[in-house]
Amino acid sequence: MTEKSKIKGFKFIRELKIFLFILIFSPQFLSAMDVSLGFKWGYREIKDPDLKEIYGDGYVYKPYLKFFPYALWGFELSYEGGYKKEGMLGLFQEESTLNIHGIQFCALFRYKVRFLEPYIKFGGGYFSYQQNIKSQFVRKKVDHHKGTFVMGGGVHLKISKILFFLVELEYIPLKVSPFEKEVDLGGFRGILGLGFNLSLNT
């Protein structure tokens, strides 16, 4: 990916954030839709066995926004960060770090049953992964991006009119080729979280 395309990508994401902020927090939007935001945290796996042995699984955090223009169908926009691990590579046990983060946009289908709200979701994600190898011979650095699909499901447990607790299981594959061998940086996520209902018609 060229420097020019990276700059265009960053500008697009910045403009999208501004547009969504103005749209979502307008009174018309909040009164017309079921809108919530919250914070999720959990544990994610690294599927590739070699990288799993070097870096291991790790923790992630996920701030998110959900909005439902229809009773059963809606959308979720979220950011995943927090996975940054250190490990020793190769015969000479060279120091290295692996950092993975990205944004996700998913469609959701939900069904309300009293104070419970089970849901499933499917969508896409755009992830960045950086690997930095501190070799005494040559310094190697990978800084790539990759799109993939996202699927999962969970349940909201309503605590009050504006507050709910959630449990979620998510699967995101992320097959990449930073060097010559293809590896899968994806895997399952087990997630817990809290959410706040922002809708004016609650």
Of 42-51, 158-167, 173-182, which gets the smallest average pLDDT?
173-182
Q: Locate 122 and state its tokens.
A: 């499917």
User: What would you measure as the largest C-alpha separation in the chain, in angstroms?
Assistant: 63
The secondary element (H helix, E strand) that includes residue 52 is helix 49-55
Class of domain 33-197: mainly beta
- The DSSP symbol for 25 reads T
pLDDT value for 135? 65
Alpha-carbon span 176 to 8, nearest angstrom: 22
pLDDT value for 90? 64
Give the pLDDT band of residue 144 (cuts 50, 70, 90). Answer: confident
For the chain, give the mean pLDDT.
83
Residue with tokens 């944004």: 103
* The one-letter amino acid at 6: K
- Segment 110-119 mean pLDDT: 91
Q: Which is more confident, 133 or 192?
A: 192
Is 136's pLDDT higher than 80? no
